[in-house]
Amino acid sequence: MWMVGYNEGGEFNMADYAFNGRKLRPLMPRPGTSPNNTSSATTTPCLTRIHHGNDFFSQYHNLASVAEQGKREFMNAPPVVVSSRWNPTPEQLRALEELYMRGTRTPSAEQIQQITAQLRRFGKIEGKNVFYWFQNHKARERQKRRRQMESAAEGGHHPRDFDTTLEKKDLGTSRTVFEVEQTKNWVPSTNCSNLAEVYSLSFLCLCPWSRRLLTPFSFSTLGFIT
Amino acid sequence: MWMVGYNEGGEFNMADYAFNGRKLRPLMPRPGTSPNNTSSATTTPCLTRIHHGNDFFSQYHNLASVAEQGKREFMNAPPVVVSSRWNPTPEQLRALEELYMRGTRTPSAEQIQQITAQLRRFGKIEGKNVFYWFQNHKARERQKRRRQMESAAEGGHHPRDFDTTLEKKDLGTSRTVFEVEQTKNWVPSTNCSNLAEVYSLSFLCLCPWSRRLLTPFSFSTLGFIT
DNA sequence: GCAAATTAATGATTTATTCAAG
DNA sequence: CTTGAATAAATCATTAATTTGC
């Protein structure tokens, strides 16, 4: 798996995409099969009806067209593509769990980078995988604990009791671990990765070797702070 | 204000950070004032107690130390910093609203870039501002409409009725606009910005001129796909 | 044994909620 | 009070476990 790859020079290695019969991982929205989307029949094709008005919007539309074109090119390739999601190797998993156990909850951008770099030794991995992993793991640990409390409570505590973020686990007798649920005020400063941070970085240096288009125009805007 | 800046050459322009008495915008988590966080008194200092164990973690710890150090350096600078949050100029706001009205809901990374670049003419703006603006605006329009429906319905519709994503607004008599609430299946492909995408970009090219540290080690890992 | 079918785990996205600046 | 920013919760979707019938 994990046949998707780009080389340093900025060239897109299409061969890697023509693989087996798998779908491309959902960079694109999934077809309207979501139970929540009750309007799949009525969704509109969107950008197609932009009318050219003032300066800005016509410019914007032009640029959007470039993007569209790039997309089409991309989709003319064999409809096939590669596997989709990251699967941690046992080593990677162990490492992440170890970090979690030691208190890492919402690693900063740097931390994510370091972790990612380290774990790459063990196999494919991206920063986003680390990011998501911690996000999911944190959420699911919390939820697991909540459920445990629920069943343990039985007697009928108030629901808000489950909102506490620091909890002692003592379900069995052998359980002596304090699980500290980290909250945002855990570390004083610059230690949480967040979307904004991430965006700053990405917009600082959208590079030619990304899968994303880089129009001449947008390229000319690079080097600035966005 | 938005005095934060980096130059192309990769040098960190500290002067830009030593500005007036304002706090740095919340890259850092807020102090423990959240009503949800009931454990502020018991949270632990975290990373301090890492014991050196196997290969990976000692390495990681080293790297974490680097990060810590960088943070300290950063914080040794005048405790001051720049203003905090973006405030759209009227032109920017108009443009964003126009885009929204025409159907833009979750602009892709490119789109955000283009929009940002265009709107910079009117004043300071970052990609993340555009990102957040659409996110918030979408959410608040939905919520507004939901409230409207609630009050309009009175009779007692099922809550799930509010889940529909395509709705006709006809509150007044002069209102003839179809507001199309975009969903994930709105555009077939690569047209929605998401965290993963963002992360890919940022990790593809974390640059020396970013505010973030770039350790020699992590630097050596650049040029690869993360 | 083995694959199709089904279920459980969990990676990845989106939506809702919350915080706090102005 | 409005709204930019950040986080948490809910949801979606793919992969691994596993069950099942042969």
Q: Confirm whether pTM is higher than 0.85.
A: no
Phi and psi at residue B92, to the nearest 5°: -60, -45
Q: Mean pLDDT over residues A27-42, rounded?
A: 32
Neighbours of B160 (CB within 10 A): 9
Arch. (CATH architecture) of A90-151: Orthogonal Bundle (1.10)
Given a cut of 90, is residue A92 above it in pLDDT? yes
pLDDT tops 90 at residue A122? yes
Helical (H) or strand (E) element with A167: strand A166-168
Residues 6+ apart with CB under 8 A from B68: B47
A96 part of contact set with chain B, CB < 8 Å: no
Pairwise CA distance, residues B186 & B168, whole Å = 17
Taking the CA of residue A162 and the C1' sugar atom of nucleotide D9, their distance in angstroms comes to 14
Q: Which residue has the higher pLDDT, A47 or A92?
A: A92
| Residues 6+ away with beta carbon under 8 Å from B113 | A203, A206, A218, A221, A226, B127
- Short-list A26, A65, A8, CA closest to A208: A8
Q: What's the pLDDT at A154?
A: 53
DSSP string, B151-206: HHH-S---GGGGG-SEEE--SSSS---EEE---TTSSSSS----HHHHHHHHHH--
Closest residue by Cα to the C1' atom of nucleotide D7?
A184
* Cβ contact, residue pair A127, B203, below 8 Å: yes
Query: Across chain B, what does the average pLDDT equal?
Result: 46
> Which pLDDT tens digit goes with each residue over B104-147?
777 777 777 778 888 888 888 888 788 888 888 887 777 776 66
Q: Pick from B44, B187, B211: which is nearest to A46 by CB?
A: B187
DSSP-based three-state secondary structure for A100: helix
Q: Would you tell me how many other CB atoms lie within 10 Å of the CB of residue A9? A: 9
Whose CA is closest to A2, among B226, B31, B116? B226
CA A194 / C1′ D13 distance in Å: 24
Q: What are phi and psi of A134, to 5 degrees?
A: -65, -40
Could you tell me the CA-to-CA distances from A61 to A39, B96, B125, B166 in Å, in that order?
A: 26, 14, 20, 24
Interface probe, candidates A202, A206, A214, chain B, greatest B C-beta count within 10 A:
A202
Rounded-to-integer distance, Cα A15 and Cα A3, Å: 9
> Minimal CA–CA distance to B31: which of B19, B49, B47, B43?
B43
Q: Give yes or no for a contact between B210 and A201, defined as CB atoms under 8 angstroms apart.
A: yes
How far is it, in rounded angstroms, from Cα A210 to Cα A200?
16
Torsion of CA A131, B128, A197, A166, to 10 degrees: -60
- Report which of B204, B173, B166, B67 is spatially closest to residue A108, judged by C-alpha positions: B67
Grouping H, G, I as helix, E, B as strand and the rest as coil, residue A59 is helix
Helix orientation angle between B109-119 and B90-101, rounded to the nearest 10 degrees: 150
Q: Where exactly are the structural domains of chain A? A: 90-151
List chain B pLDDT tens, one digit each, 226 residues: 333 322 222 222 222 222 222 222 332 332 323 333 333 333 333 322 333 334 455 444 443 333 333 333 333 333 344 556 788 888 888 888 888 877 777 777 777 777 888 888 888 888 878 888 888 888 777 777 666 555 544 433 332 232 222 232 222 222 222 233 333 323 333 344 544 444 443 333 222 222 222 221 222 222 222 3
User: Which of residues A154 and A147 earns the better pLDDT score?
Assistant: A147
A169-212, pLDDT tens digit by residue? 222 222 222 233 333 222 222 334 444 444 333 333 222 222 22
Euclidean distance between CA atoms A40 and A44, whole angstroms: 9
* pLDDT value of residue B116: 82
Note whether A200 contacts B211, CB cutoff 8 Å.
yes
